[in-house]
Chain A
Amino acid sequence: MALTNPTRRAFFQRLAVSGCVLLPTADQDQIQYHGRADRIEVSRRKQKIQVVASEHPSGFAIDRFSHRLFVANEIDEYQDLPAGSVESYAIDPATGQIELRDRRRLSLSATGPKHLAISPDGRHLVVAAYSGGAYNVLPVQANGKIGEVKQVLKEIGSGPHPEKQATAHPHSVAFHPSGKLVVATDLGADRISLFSFESGRLRRIQQIKTPPGSGPADLRVSNQYVSVEYELQPFRRRYQFSSINGTPCLV
């Protein structure tokens, strides 16, 4: 069956290092969390200090206040259903080592998540499901347990690239430091989206069309700016947060 036989492209894509995140420590050092096909490698000063089994860990997000690491598993089937999953790990603040706390299935058809973001208050995860073309919002409890999917937001769109842009592919997602706005890139639909985020719900405010075939992918969000790197064309762009009549927007 198709789902159990990933294509050659998907296979190689997943063999590669899929994600990585750095955690600064108190003594001016850094802990590195590296996603491999079947594990997360934790290293410090280029020394591997821990290896934890995990299924295609692809997107990483750290909540520094509660010492938690959240991971998006870039898979197409979990618990026999067409869905990816997310994991939550507790980080030992002294050593940087991690321990699995919870794993939760995404919504139906939210397959192949590549990236996720934790809200500044640490209470919600927003996941970009690349293959399935949707965003999921999941609540996070104080003990690190992840609740059931609270919202599914399905994207529609396409671009000129015959393989990578046949349908929408939400690539990255990030919170504005205020926690009230979420920015996301859609590689498949050539689109940057701005959402409001209230009571754990995403609502579309603005959609910016990027040049056809550009494939917006990586995303960095600061208080004032959003910088977007394109994957299918070699350039990047910066947007500024602004507002029209009190409504936030990107210009």
Chain B
Amino acid sequence: MIVPLVYLKQRHDVNSLFFLQRRQILHFLREDRVLFAQPLYKCNVLFADLSKFRHGLPVSSIVFVVAVRFGHVRPYHGNVTPRPNSASCQNQESMAISIGKADSRYPLLDQGHNLRWPTSASEAPDSIELCENAEDVVSVLQRTIDAGRRPTIRSGGHCYEDFTVNNPAGTIIDVSLLSASRTPLPQGAKYPVSAGGRLGDVYLDLFKRFNVTLPGGSCTTVGAGGHISGGGFGVLSRLHGLTVDWLTAVDIVTVDEKGKASLRRVDKTADADLFRACCGAGGGNFGIITAYFFDQLPAPPKEVVSGGISFNWADMTETRFVDIVLTFGEYWQTRGKDEDTWGLFSGLDLSHSSSGRMGVGVQFCNNDGTCRDLSVVNEFFDRFGDCKPVAEHIPSAHGRVDPPTSNLRRSCASPHPLEQLPWLDATVGGGGGRRSRAKYKSTYMKENFTAAEAKCIFKHLKRPVPGVNKGRPLLAVDSYGGAVNRPALAAQTAVPQRASTMKLQFQAYWNDAKDDAGHLAWMHDFYADLYSGETVPSRYAGTPYPGKHYEGCYINYPDKDMLAYPFWPQLYYGDGDLYPFLQNVKQRYDPHNLFHHAMSIRPKQS
């Protein structure tokens, strides 16, 4: 006997009327008892085979049709032709905002920050599901996997590679509308951060509500979801460590072996293995993170100094270039390890010679969050005295960001061009750059550059980007270490890099697709050449394989070129037992490998 069951499309209807619970519908769908669905006015009718219900129908799901227009419920006597469309009944299940290809929002929302993705129209997703809470995420994910579609996850949309946006006929589950303030706090945790928050908003929220901050990033439009799950490195990391070093609990939606999606709260005691994996390897590997919780977070500095020095490319010689690079690297390997310098963050922006200038930017505060003593930063800049810096142009600590003009800034009593400004301005004043086509690579360095490396960098920065007129790629060398380099944290998190003093980010930005090949080739050749010298064992040539000199790459600056090396997981997760551990977590929490991308944790081979 085939009977129609009814459920409603609209949120308010479900809340105000009785009949089929969402849970029951999902149950029916999963048990394969529903034969067809037929949309009918404001409700959906599921046609189910009564003989398949072993214990009969639940009382609440006796046959009804709802006439929403009249505001009441009455039995249905009409004649409905069922049609085979089990997807349409599922489409109405979630309360998320569904953006299909016909929606006028789709052309903007199907792209992230890196405009190289989707690679082609056939790589684009069928829909983008904007979720507003964790329940939305659970039901959207359930619907997606029940339909056999691939889910990819997006928060701020800053993923460097194609992990999210290239999803042919799949579903992007977008968490950027998730709100932390609506998430109930676990016992003991004081500070929630939604996976959907953009870092600039998160800094403001934590500052205003609690007077604390994340030690996180500089690009304020980056989403917390991916930033934290990949480690969470930023301008205050030398002073306060990585963001995951402070993390105490994570809300994550996972799918069990039977294909059921559910929300779990993981921490050091509940699903401790999954929690550790989310502390640095959580990006698109195991499930969908909806919220982060912190028992403690550092207080933000009261104020910071920001500034820098520049060097002209016009009169740059190889000798002077090598001198600048080695002076910078030597500091972090020696003096930069002293605790009184941990408040100093610096970026050496080695821009392409065609840009005219390169520079060293800093942000500094004393360990107590004040600027009362600038001797550390002055001493740092004094080291570049012989390198002929020019003062008229002030780069910021994170050179991608144009500092805003503000009357809160004031010049410092320093022989170097520094200005003092409120921490909040230094942190949320910038942005994350405009959307463009882009390519990135990364390296962790445990020791200073060798002269040969510096010469190699000089050579490539002088070399034009092939076939490109205005290509101005850069190599940003950021200071690292300090509070990050507490070795015990490697075993508590999924970030093994705890001995490096510098972190390199190779970057190129352009707008025209015809310039792709030139930029990709330039960076590929630069990187391969730089890591084929005497500092790299021949079997690892072309990569900064973890060893005496290097400590691999950063998973949040992912680079698909590394997939050419069978040892690519060791570049990102070290050559210890972390990657096998992550594969076990993968098998346990995502046995069907539903969450995957080009560089996700690979399933263990059976």
Contacts and interface: CB of A to CB of B under 8 A. Distances in A.
Contacts of B568: 1
Contacts of A207: 32
Contacts of B122: 147-150
Contacts of A196: 84
A222 B522 CA distance: 56
A5 B604 CA distance: 11
B592 A154 contact: yes
A202 B430 CA distance: 47
A167 interface: yes
Contacts of A76: 605
B168 interface: yes
Interface in A147-205: 147-158, 163, 166-168, 196, 201, 203-205
Nearest to B595: A109
Contacts of B594: 154, 156
Interface in A72-112: 76, 80-82, 107-109
A81 B123 contact: no
A3 B168 contact: no
Given A1-B569, A152-B149, A10 B605 contact: yes
Interface stretch (B325-333, B409-417, B449-457, B559-567): B559-567
B148 A7 contact: no
B145 interface: yes
B339 interface: no
Contact of B605 (A7, A132, A150): A7
A6 interface: yes
B591 interface: yes
Interface in A97-146: 107-109, 132-135
A109 B596 CA distance: 7
A47 interface: no
A152 to B, nearest CB: 5
B591 A166 contact: yes
A132 B84 contact: no
Contacts of B147: 204
A2 B584 CA distance: 13
Given A1-B567, A133-B592, A151 B257 contact: no
Interface in B539-597: 560, 563-564, 566-569, 583, 591-594, 596-597
A108 B597 contact: yes
Contact of B593 (A6, A80, A132, A247): A132
B528 interface: no
B563 A80 contact: yes
B83 A168 contact: no
B150 A81 contact: no
A155 B148 contact: yes
Contacts of B602: 1-3, 82
Contacts of A135: 148
Nearest to B580: A2
**Max count, chain A CB within 10 A of own CB: residue among B35, B120, B259, B605:** B605
11 contacts: A1-B568, A10-B605, A107-B150, A108-B150, A109-B596, A148-B122, A204-B86, A205-B84, A207-B32, A209-B32, A246-B83
Given A7-B606, A81-B563, A156-B259, A150 B592 contact: no
Interface in B70-108: 81-84, 86-87
Contact of B148 (A6, A132, A150, A153): A153
Given A7-B606, A154-B149, A158-B257, A107 B168 contact: yes
Nearest to A201: B169
A81 B567 CA distance: 13
A109 B86 CA distance: 26
Nearest to A10: B605
B591 A167 contact: yes
Contacts of A109: 593, 596
Interface in B252-281: 255, 257-259
A4 interface: yes
Contacts of B168: 107, 148-152
Contact of B566 (A4, A108, A155): A4
Contacts of B591: 166-167
A244 interface: yes
A203 B87 CA distance: 8
Given A1-B566, A7-B605, A81 B593 contact: no
A202 to B, nearest CB: 8
Given A2-B602, A166-B591, A152 B259 contact: no
Nearest to B80: A245
A1 B84 CA distance: 45
B70 to A, nearest CB: 28
Nearest to A151: B169
Nearest to A4: B566
A221 B171 CA distance: 32
A82 B259 CA distance: 22
A155 B255 CA distance: 13
B36 interface: yes
B10 to A, nearest CB: 25
Interface string A1-37: 1111111001000000000000000000000000000
Nearest to B126: A151
In order of increasing CB-CB distance, the 8 nearest A-B pairs are A156-B259, A153-B148, A80-B563, A247-B84, A148-B122, A151-B169, A109-B596, A2-B605
A231 B165 CA distance: 39
Given A109-B593, A196-B84, A148 B36 contact: no
B598 interface: yes
Contacts of A150: 122, 168-169
A157 to B, nearest CB: 7
B30 to A, nearest CB: 10
B170 interface: yes
B467 to A, nearest CB: 24
B592 A156 contact: yes
A5 B567 CA distance: 12
Given A107-B150, A244-B2, 4 more contacts: A80-B564, A108-B598, A209-B32, A244-B35
**Max count, chain A CB within 10 A of own CB: residue among B169, B567, B597:** B169
Contact of A6 (B2, B123, B569, B605): B605
A151 B125 CA distance: 10
Contacts of A148: 120, 122-123, 168
A152 B150 contact: yes
A175 B605 CA distance: 31
A227 B567 CA distance: 45
Contacts of B170: 152
Nearest to B148: A153
Nearest to A133: B592
**Max count, chain A CB within 10 A of own CB: residue among B36, B120, B148, B568:** B148
A3 B605 contact: yes
Contacts of B150: 107-108, 152, 154
Contacts of B605: 2-3, 5-7, 10, 76
A194 to B, nearest CB: 10
Contacts of B569: 1
A168 B592 contact: yes
Contacts of A3: 566, 602, 605
A245 B37 CA distance: 13
Contacts of A155: 148
Nearest to A167: B592
